[in-house]
Chain A
């Protein structure tokens, strides 16, 4: 165990007793407070220099080098009328946007960045979020001008390399999932779910079989029922078994002519593989429904199991999880969707097609002849190109062998955590077989009044980001830990040691845990007050007069 080799403990008072001494600035050495932009910036300050523009009202032109040029025509009345009219007489008044010079800007954001936890700083064990290392090669590739500086509507002849990348990532996804078709345009996981369900609905309507219900296991991500409802379906929950899997009997019993399909996460959010997945798919198909698989947890099985072999009809893949594109503080993600043969004709526009003459992009005006059943368009343009380049870099780096090692190590790390902690934390499904890439614990066994939140906040003081808490809903005080494959054994041992220590404090009823974190940039924040009278923007004086 390699915890605090220095012997320094955060609880220990400082030698000179200055621990509570306020500072003039409110800073604590490297822990720096940073005011709001609106408190330090001003509307007449800028960090960008421009060549001077002529007044919008007309005025002096700037023929370069004294020569008459197109720029010089600005001094002439325009053919269509006076200069001001070229803006429709709609000139803008004060906007109240403060600016900063470049050094002030760099400092403002650098100081803010230091108030964030990040994968780059340590274990980030959020279950179902797959916070793995983000290779920097991916960032370099995405920024190549040939990828970063091309317009989505450029003539197809000028973007063959970009279409090749989209095609390449699509091919990898199809091969890894064992599915024949892919839609690349969905912008994130939830958007991919929407894509999958719209295809299901379109396919059912095409056969004149409108159905009204989508079944969702109670352990599902909140996006599943939200998506189904968005598509106009009634959502019905399917209970879990005591061992943490879908209750297959209950599911089969509910199937019928009104059930459009099921949305099922596999591996599921209890961290378990749905053993009966093939039987579930067969039963749903026999009843005329379709199977949507939430691919949020694909990292557990990538390179080892092709979901197509289990019989599913659609699955989104979060490129920001399994394929390491950065989470970026909450996005952007990317959620391509793979489709079975039954759903492929209904996949949305646009998509990339390979022809002997090169790649083409099938859009609305070219789709009619051979893709008439496409359910429509989900986004302007073609999807998250900047994520495709990063994912392509990740895929090629790992190869088929590396991806198999990825899922192996991810599952190994999670099982290691499960077995190292099950004596101090209740693991409700520890007997349900090996876990997949995440280990699930509950807050049973804590001292009275102590709960999951206290453990999470205690971990913050130990220098770790907490695990996913209170999800899935099927477990009391759930703690879902996903270490990913990019953690070393030493890093895991340190995390395990820290979590053991915090869990033991919670079992013993250590009151100091109730007020944790003590050493973060902020103590616990008042979320109730934030919601009661929301302050969602910094108001300026003009507003305060209203």
Chain B
């Protein structure tokens, strides 16, 4: 077994040193009825590296990789080109095989990266501070609602109709158990999910927070400044969710528009699609709320020689110190994904991020204009970043399936996300720097056929 260094002679010598006859004797405390006498039944025996590669490689080939097809899916996960150096650097064993930096003297690499990451996220979001990351955008969203509850001591949260429906589902699941009351709504195709009027009319002095996604699930962009003012007038917090961080290279940040907590998915930058995980939850807020924040935080300090260094800090919020009184039960962060994000963001810099965002937006605008010419297609959004929603003259889900059989990954049908049949003709289309002119032409002509 290639991963096990002990030889039989080693094992014998060690058993002798311990003073037992066999390894089985070391399991004497396991009730005999529960002790297996041989390998677990029903599973194969060990395999060579080559055999494993052959078997799992075969399964990989049964999937249609995004890079092998015209590809237009978004809705919370986006395909961007990740520079090759990102993946090389995150595979440095000193990053890949390190643990949580609990011994800071020999973990300054991870810690400095986290400090830089926190700074990058805070600046991207227009906030004062960010944490060292959460599991993903959906769980970060739920944690933000819990944080608003602790700050305002209120339990009523208003969720925008434009919030990703999986995020809404996660919040609804958790709210069943925590007693938060969630005011939710399903988007309508008219106005591309804009429910600003509903949000403004619903905020009252029992509201802990309003949660709004920008750009929203249908791709629409909104100015949230008025909403922020309305929240603050009632003592509620504004939580803004960003599922496409690249958009912040072009669009005013939630912090600049008055958000109190900004959360989102960081997958777009550095992480890749990976069929939905692992992803990267981003979480930022204002200085004054930092002690109510969930998750790990890295802070700057000095060592015994006065040299600058970094440590995990404010851990009195966390479960390993506070146990049942912690701000969250979260223990890990999404460390390696945060590293990938930070490296990619460093490679981009402000210049690169702006160029990337401009390219995404320009291509999306051009694609929307091309698709709008197809009979039976209506583009719903006026303002959008790299994602927009089409209203087709027929239900979108069967069309998406048919196009997939022709190796075209056409987008996300709203029927995949919502049971509500009034949305079944909706198709969310994302266009990034990876989209080519040929891809758009292929999609346009396929839709032209499908809708004829």
A binds B: yes
Least CB separation from B410: chain A residue: A155
Select the stretch in B68-76, B149-157, B203-211, B228-236 that faces chain A: B68-76
Whether, in the assembled complex, A145 has its beta carbon less than 8 Å from a beta carbon of chain B, the answer is yes
Contacts of A465 in B (CB 8 A): 99, 103, 106
Least CB separation from A325: chain B residue: B278
Number of A-B contacts (CB under 8 A): 750
Select the stretch in A4-12, A383-391, A498-506 that faces chain B: A383-391
Whether, in the assembled complex, B355 has its beta carbon less than 8 Å from a beta carbon of chain A, the answer is yes
Distance to closest chain B CB from A244 (angstroms): 11
B329:A86 contact, CB within 8 angstroms:
no
Given contacts A81-B382, A95-B248, A526-B302, contact A43 B349 (CB under 8 A): yes
Task: Give bound CA distance, A272 to B2, whole Å.
Answer: 28
A113:B277 contact, CB within 8 angstroms:
no
Whether, in the assembled complex, A215 has its beta carbon less than 8 Å from a beta carbon of chain B, the answer is no
Task: Give bound CA distance, A165 to B31, whole Å.
Answer: 33
A152:B275 contact, CB within 8 angstroms:
yes
Whether, in the assembled complex, B46 has its beta carbon less than 8 Å from a beta carbon of chain A, the answer is yes
Contacts of B283 in A (CB 8 A): none
B303:A379 contact, CB within 8 angstroms:
no
Task: Give bound CA distance, A141 to B25, whole Å.
Answer: 37
Given contacts A48-B352, A92-B248, contact A332 B401 (CB under 8 A): no
Whether, in the assembled complex, A15 has its beta carbon less than 8 Å from a beta carbon of chain B, the answer is no
Given contacts A119-B93, A134-B97, contact A376 B323 (CB under 8 A): no
Task: Give bound CA distance, A113 to B93, whole Å.
Answer: 8
Query: What is the 8 Å Cβ interface bit string for chain A, positions 285-304, against chain B (1 contact, 0 not)?
Result: 00000000000000001011
Task: Give bound CA distance, A51 to B352, whole Å.
Answer: 11
Distance to closest chain A CB from B354 (angstroms): 8
Task: Give bound CA distance, A92 to B415, whole Å.
Answer: 33
Taking A408-B26, A538-B119 as given, write out 18 further A-B residue pairs in contact, using a Cβ cutoff of 8 Å, ordered by the A residue number. Answer: A47-B346, A48-B83, A51-B359, A74-B365, A79-B369, A90-B223, A91-B252, A92-B248, A94-B350, A95-B350, A99-B348, A115-B94, A377-B172, A380-B76, A383-B276, A384-B277, A412-B11, A525-B302
B103:A113 contact, CB within 8 angstroms:
no
Given contacts A150-B66, A151-B66, contact A375 B173 (CB under 8 A): yes
Which listed residue, B1, B94, B275, touches A150 by the CB 8 Å rule?
B275
Least CB separation from B146: chain A residue: A230
A47:B108 contact, CB within 8 angstroms:
no
Whether, in the assembled complex, B201 has its beta carbon less than 8 Å from a beta carbon of chain A, the answer is no
Given contacts A141-B52, A149-B273, contact A90 B251 (CB under 8 A): yes
Least CB separation from A326: chain B residue: B96
Task: Give bound CA distance, A116 to B13, whole Å.
Answer: 34
B305:A523 contact, CB within 8 angstroms:
yes
Enumerate A94-153 residues with CB–CB distance to B below 8 Å: 94-100, 102, 105-106, 108-110, 112-121, 124, 126, 129, 131, 133-135, 137, 139-141, 143-153
B63:A147 contact, CB within 8 angstroms:
yes
Which listed residue, B3, B98, B248, B354, touches A117 by the CB 8 Å rule?
B98
* 3 A-B pairs with least C-beta separation: A99-B349, A381-B276, A376-B173
Whether, in the assembled complex, A305 has its beta carbon less than 8 Å from a beta carbon of chain B, the answer is yes
Of A131, A193, A278, A398, chain B has the most CB atoms within 10 Å of the CB of A398
Contacts of A521 in B (CB 8 A): 105-106, 108
Of B1, B130, B382, chain A has the most CB atoms within 10 Å of the CB of B1
A434:B25 contact, CB within 8 angstroms:
yes
B331:A151 contact, CB within 8 angstroms:
no
Whether, in the assembled complex, B18 has its beta carbon less than 8 Å from a beta carbon of chain A, the answer is yes
Contacts of A392 in B (CB 8 A): 56
Given contacts A71-B437, A189-B331, contact A137 B52 (CB under 8 A): yes
Enumerate A151-171 residues with CB–CB distance to B below 8 Å: 151-155, 157-162, 164-165, 168
